[in-house]
Structure 1
Amino acid sequence: MLTYEKQALSGTIEVLLRSELPDEFEGTKLYGSLEEDELRQDCKIFRLSNETGHGRITVYQVFSGIELYYNDMHMGYCNQNQATVKNMIEINHCLIGRFECSFGENSCCYMAEGDLSISSMMKKKSNSCFPLNHYHGISIVINLDELLPEIRQIMELLNIDLHYIQKYICEGNRCCIMRANPSIEHIFSELYHVREKRKPGYMKVKMLELLLFLSDLNTAEEVLQTDYFNQNQVALIKAVASYITEDLTAHHTIEQLSQKFAISTTALKKCFRGVYGTSVYSYLRTYRLQVAKKLLLETESSVTEIASKIGYENPNKFTSAFKETYGSSPTEFRKSVRLDRSGSVWSGEEI
């Protein structure tokens, strides 16, 4: 046993010292068309764009066969026709925003902030959307056929049951979502804030911790349940969202929307919250304020004019709502951003 542990330790050191990046990353097929932006010693940075916006992907190879992607998305969707791959696992963690995965006609599900998903890449995605038009999180791609024997030895020493994870996810062709909880928060939170020079080594440690956590998937059955929506329902709800944001000066009641789109008020409210994570009213309020923020930055319109453009008849109510959301009045916000821009480029929230 001692000899076995020494061999595993030797293999561990060798694996940890390897730092060469592969010519191609397995997980890039998740995103569609990518353009290489920057090559660093430990990672590659890619850009992607379509008619809905743009995104930035930073990719690290954690181990041979395991890749980690930092996602910074300001777009409505990416890669609508993902190819299937055998013996590969995709893991996603949502930090900010909302992530939609659809698998056929009756299996559209959503990740909210703090949620974790794990799925087989044999389960073909027909769509990967970001309903709020922004999404920040981590994706991990594990190619089980490319894991080195040394890595498997390390996992065995740590009681990581890779065979069980493979059987449960790949052979079961599952997509599971774990709702936000302290265990998931503990594993992922520091990955977003670790210093760059510590990141490569730290990711290795956290990856092993994550796989050890996933070795107990069978004991967490209660958190693997999620709501799935019919694609037709989702399309209808997206049409509702498009309709209410088309003219921000118009005001619609739930009953009016229910009649227009031929859906019951109960189903409308439930499905809208399922897709966008909030009520119709809250969604529209947030959208209006984001438009106001953009107008404050890009136009010379007065606060009263902007309030009118986004559907606030009373400028004071608009000012109160803006301050409650962003921490400063519209006038203060405009002044502070212009001061910042004089010394640096502002990077703000996108609609």
Structure 2
Amino acid sequence: MTAHKIFDGAFVMYSDMHLKECTSYFQSSTDSSLLYIDHCREGRIESEIGNNAYSYLQEHEMRVDDRRSHSGRFCFPLCHYHGMTLGFDLDIAVPALKDFFGGFSVDLYELQKKYCNDKKPFVIHNEPGIEHIFSELYFVPQQIKGDYYKVKAMELLLYLDALQFSDSKEDRPYFYKGQVEKIKAIHDLITANLQEHYTMDELAERFQISLTGMKTCFKEIFGDSMYSYLRRYRMNVAATMLRQDSQKGIAEIAGAVGYESPSKFATAFRQVIGQTPMEYRKSFF
């Protein structure tokens, strides 16, 4: 996590996480004067929102909150998360912003009321204007960072002030602890032995969860349908084996990741990795 000061009371922070989970000890008062804007560029993050319910911030989503519920355990279902946060301590940032740009029309306290009057985080998915603003913040030349952060922060605040979010806000599903634990147990089961094959009905019955609920919750936690996720997982394991063990044949590796047919394995591998298994191996040896 790398933070840069924008002006007094305001910062931008880049987060590059490669871990399964972490714990936050952040504490904010019930009358928080904070305004935080999070953007996920890649991966996803799981956070508890109270009453044993969990929400997920995923790729190309922006979340606005006041950090009143930002302590506890955070999980990264894909074991990585890349994004950024713009943070404002309003009691300090508002006067500093007036000193920097006296004619700035956005009232940050009103902006906080607009987006943070619900106990749930405010999430916006795939809003083109917001994506454009954040995309430029990921690649800032060193020599202009100071002024550029100020300009982009004001641009984002202006955009949020003007945004009519009835068409932009996405009512994301929230899942309770029991559901999340079952889905993670299903994930552990289907990835533990890739030679084993389970039907959706078998998994739903085994873990006593509805078929629809299982599919919906799995996609929310891991970012893809169970079938697509498991196929990609198998191909990534196969790619590691192709790189690390030149003595193993293609058919043997195919069998190790659950494919009896080398031709079907080669087709799936190309669809996921972009090369045939042989082409991929030759690029390393």
Q: What TM-score do you get using the length of structure 1 for normalisation?
A: 0.73
Residue type of the partner of 2:3? V
> 2-side partners of 1:282 and 1:120: how far apart?
35
Q: Secondary structure at the match of 1:126?
A: strand
Between 1 and 2, higher relative CO (CA 8 Å, sep ≥ 6) is seen in: 2
**Is the partner of 1:223 in helix, strand or coil?**
coil
Q: Which residue of 2 aligns with 1:166?
A: 112
Matched, 1:188 2:152: no
Letter in 2 for 1:94: C
Check 1:106–1:68 CA distance in 2 against 1; reply closer, same or farther (3 A cut). same
Q: CA 1:160–1:328 in structure 2 vs 1: closer, same or farther (change >3 Å)?
A: same
Structure 1, 243-252 or 273-282: larger mean CA deviation: 273-282
Change (3 A) 1:171 1:273: closer
Alignment CA distance shift 1:162-1:323 (3 Å): same
Equivalent residue pairs, number: 281
Aligned CA-pair RMSD = 2.2
> Is residue 48–residue 73 contact of structure 2 (8 Å, CA) maintained in 1?
yes
Contact 1:87 1:122 in 2 (8 A): no
Pick one of 211, 215, 222 that aligns with 2:161. 215
- 1:152 Cα offset (Å): 3.1
Within 5 Å, which residues of 2 pair with 1:53-72?
Answer: 57-72=1-16
Corresponding position of 1:331:
278
Q: Are the counterparts in 2 of residues 64 and 147 from structure 1 also a CA contact under 8 Å?
A: yes
SS in 1 for 2:60: coil
Q: Which amino acid aligns with 1:157?
A: G
Structure 1 counterpart of 2:252: 305
Residues 104 and 126, structure 1, Cα contact 8 Å, conserved in 2: no
AA partner of residue 60 (structure 2): G
> 1:226-241 alignment to 2 at 5 Å?
226-241=172-187
CA distance in structure 1 between the aligned counterparts of 2:24 and 2:103, rounded to whole angstroms: 40
Contact 1:62 1:200 (8 Å CA) reproduced:
yes
Query: Cα 1:199–1:297, aligned 2, differ >3 Å: closer, same or farther?
Result: farther
8 Å Cα contact 2:241-2:253 kept in structure 1: yes
TM-score (norm 2): 0.89
Check if 1:143 corresponds to 2:143.
Answer: no
Q: Distance in 1 between matches of 2:49 and 2:2?
A: 26
Please, which runs of 5 or more residues in structure 1 have no aligned partner?
1-56, 339-351
SS of 2:242's equivalent in the other structure is helix
Q: CA separation in 2, counterparts of 1:248 and 1:193?
A: 39
Q: Give me the whole-angstrom Cα distance separating, in 1, the residues matched to 2:119 and 2:227.
A: 37
Q: Which moved more, 1:251-260 or 1:307-316?
A: 307-316
The amino acid across from 2:153 in the alignment is M
| Alignment-derived partner of residue 22 in structure 1 | none
- Counterpart CA distance in 2 for 1:215 and 1:174 is 19
- Aligned-pair CA distance for 1:155: 5.8
Name the aligned partner's letter for residue 263 of structure 1: I
1:278 aligned counterpart, secondary structure = coil
> 1:281: how far off?
0.6
Residues 98-127 of structure 1, C-alpha deviations (whole Å, 9 max, x = no match):
222221235321222111011111123433
**2:132 and 2:75 mapped to 1: Cα distance?**
26
Q: In structure 2, what residue type is equivalent to 1:260?
A: R
Please tell me the residue identity of whatever aligns with 1:309: A
User: What amino acid sits opposite 1:84 in the alignment?
Assistant: S
Distance change (3 Å), C-alpha of 1:137 and 1:290: same
In structure 2, the residue matched to 1:78 is: 22
Amino acid at match of 1:228: Y
Instruction: Indicate yes or no: 2:236 matched with 1:290.
Output: yes
Of all paired residues, the percent bearing the same amino acid is 37
d(CA) in 2 for partners of 1:87, 1:334: 55
Match of 1:119 among 34, 57, 65: 65
Structure 1 residue 157: deviation in Å?
1.8
- 1:282-317 deviation per Cα after TM superposition (whole angstroms, max 9, x unaligned): 111111112122222333333222211111111222
Deviation at 1:228, TM superposition (A): 1.4
In 2: Cα distance, 1:216 partner to 1:131 partner: 34
1:247 aligns with 2:193: yes
**Cα distance in structure 1, aligned partners of 2:140 and 2:282:** 33
Query: Counterparts of 1:144 and 1:173 in 2: how far apart (Å)?
Result: 19
Distance 1:74 1:151, change over 3 A: same
Would the aligned equivalents of 2:90 and 2:109 in 1 still touch at CA under 8 Å? no
Give the drift of 1:139. Answer: 1.9
Counterpart of 1:50? none
Match of 1:134 in 2: 80
Partner of 2:148: 202
Instruction: Give 3-state SS (helix, strand or coil) of 1:157's partner.
Output: coil
Give the drift of 1:244.
0.8
CA distance in 1, matches of 2:80, 2:187: 16
Query: In the TM superposition, what is the alpha-carbon distance from 1:156 to its structure 2 partner?
Result: 5.7
